[in-house]
Amino acid sequence: MKGKGGFLSIGKKLPGSEARMWIKKDNRFVSQSYTRAYPLVVKRGKGMTIEDVDGNIFLDFTSGIATCSTGHCHPSVVEAITRQAGELIHMSGTDFYYPSQIKLAERLAKITPGNRNKRVFFGNSGAEAIEAAFKLARYHTKREMFIAFYGSFHGRTMGALSLTASKAVQRRYFNPLIPGVRHAPYAYCYRCHYNLTYPGCDIECVKWIRDVLFTNTIPPEEVAAIVVEPIQGEGGYVVPPKEFHTRLYSLAKEFGILYIADEVQSGMGRTGKMLASEHFGIKPDIITLAKGIASGMPVGAMVASSGIMDWIPGSHASTFGGNPVSCEAALVTIDLIQNELMENAAEIGEYLLNRLEEMKKEYEIIGDVRGKGLMIGIELVRDRETKEPADKEREKIIQRCFEKGLLLLGCGKNSVRFMPPLVVSRIDADTALSIFEEVLSEVEKKRCL
């Protein structure tokens, strides 16, 4: 079948024979802890498209989980990787110096909110960036406790997992985790924990931290940091009101608590600004970055003001962190994001949001549409009054979109996320919307039978 937009090409049967062979082998040898939404076995990617091992061509609205920010195999990124790989692949920035790591640190200090007086710790992943932030917050404040939020996802290493409160399956049988973390409700206004409505709620979720947590269980002077995603990612692409962050930030400052913004998913131009924190006017003490930073090459970064990063040599390090190839890929990625892609993310993001809002009027199953830039969540419900989560329908919709050539992923219990590479065009957006709408109408029709 030739799909809409002309560039999609999907065979009669998915998965094809080659894909089935690889999946069988995967089932035998690869950890079954991974969560594959559908049987896609990837051969190559270019720009917005993914070709599978049977020659099917899909439109990618996942970016390899918000990671391939400049699209698949952007020629400038490939050129930088190839050039650097021919010169130096690894020497370990923890024990030696090399220019690409220093250049990237300087660049990150410049493009993150606040003054440039910052330092950067390099790891290889989001979890490692969070782990570093966790350790630095304890080291700097000499305090033990942390506050994080329900619905948050910060990674799966033990420190990061202690902060994560997304799905029980991610924690089951892994206890005891790192002691000292307490969770509070996030500003998830569509399903307010307190059954209140913004703005009349007066941001009860922040007041609760002061009035209940700090009064009854956690002395605020024992809290090292509040760790928060500016926009919740895995938890459902939840965009809080601006005051949630500004008040949380003020609360943190009042008690000498560090404000750690986890921008692993929301950062690097995805929301139409370099960091999502900028939408809320926040200058975090510590910022964690990964995913979109290097167009798919592994690098995680923890950026902190120099006054906070006061640990001594030997206190933290990572052999592979900030390897030269990843750093060069990151430098080119940042150029591309700053020069054109951030603006494109804002423009196409707004277009997608408006079109999805229109679709919401037609399709009862859409309970909520929210997002900033190309971080868009569509929450699906069985009933708009009761807001009963349409979780099974969500799986069906993602599966059918795959069969029609559109790659999507879910988030939260019952939301679909649109997180295309930042190179997405208006034509790509229209193609994705028309497949999505076709599938919504199919699923709604079935519900009516």
Ligand X SMILES: Cc1ncc(COP(=O)(O)O)c(C=O)c1O
Q: Which residues of the chain form contacts with ligand X (CB under 6 A)?
A: 125-127, 130, 153-155, 229, 233-234, 262, 264-265, 290
Smallest distance, ligand X to C-beta of residue 55, A: 30
Smallest distance, ligand X to C-beta of residue 261, A: 10
Smallest distance, ligand X to C-beta of residue 180, A: 19
By beta-carbon proximity to ligand X, the closer residue of 126 and 159 is 126
By beta-carbon proximity to ligand X, the closer residue of 4 and 279 is 279
Smallest distance, ligand X to C-beta of residue 178, A: 15
Q: How far apart are CA 137 and CA 287, in angstroms?
A: 12
Smallest distance, ligand X to C-beta of residue 300, A: 6
By beta-carbon proximity to ligand X, the closer residue of 298 and 405 is 298
Strands 145-149 and 223-228: parallel
By beta-carbon proximity to ligand X, the closer residue of 230 and 405 is 230
By beta-carbon proximity to ligand X, the closer residue of 84 and 266 is 266
By beta-carbon proximity to ligand X, the closer residue of 62 and 265 is 265
Smallest distance, ligand X to C-beta of residue 210, A: 25
Instruction: Determine the residue with CB nearest ligand X.
Output: 126
By beta-carbon proximity to ligand X, the closer residue of 127 and 433 is 127
Smallest distance, ligand X to C-beta of residue 386, A: 29
By beta-carbon proximity to ligand X, the closer residue of 138 and 154 is 154
Neighbours of 43 (CB within 10 A): 14
Smallest distance, ligand X to C-beta of residue 75, A: 25
Is 189 within 8 Å of 240 (Cβ atoms)?
yes
By beta-carbon proximity to ligand X, the closer residue of 214 and 237 is 237
Smallest distance, ligand X to C-beta of residue 272, A: 18
